Amino acid sequence: MPYIKTVVSPAILDNEIQKIEVSQLTLKENGQGEGLTFSLFKSTKEIMAEYTKGEVSMGLKIQIPNDYPLKSVSVEVGQ
């Protein structure tokens, strides 16, 4: 369990954050990410996304547990 918390989980999180950052840049360069924003919080292991189109807005929050992948992520959909 300590190995998962200190080595495996941070490596997985870093890899996923890099994928999100690359995707976000690619969407902006191609002009496809209009209305879509991401916030990455590495210290709290949270990923937040928000999509806005006109007056409609949708939020998504993903919380990654310290012992991921042994426990599943928590996903909250708001608004």
Mean pLDDT computed over every residue of the chain: 84
Structural domain including 19 reads 2-78
What are the pLDDT digits (tens) for 12-25?
888 888 888 888 78
pLDDT tens, position by position, 44-62: 888 888 888 888 889 999 9
Number of domains in the chain: 1
- DSSP result, 41-75: ETTTTEEEEEEEETTEEEEEEEE--TTTTTS--EE
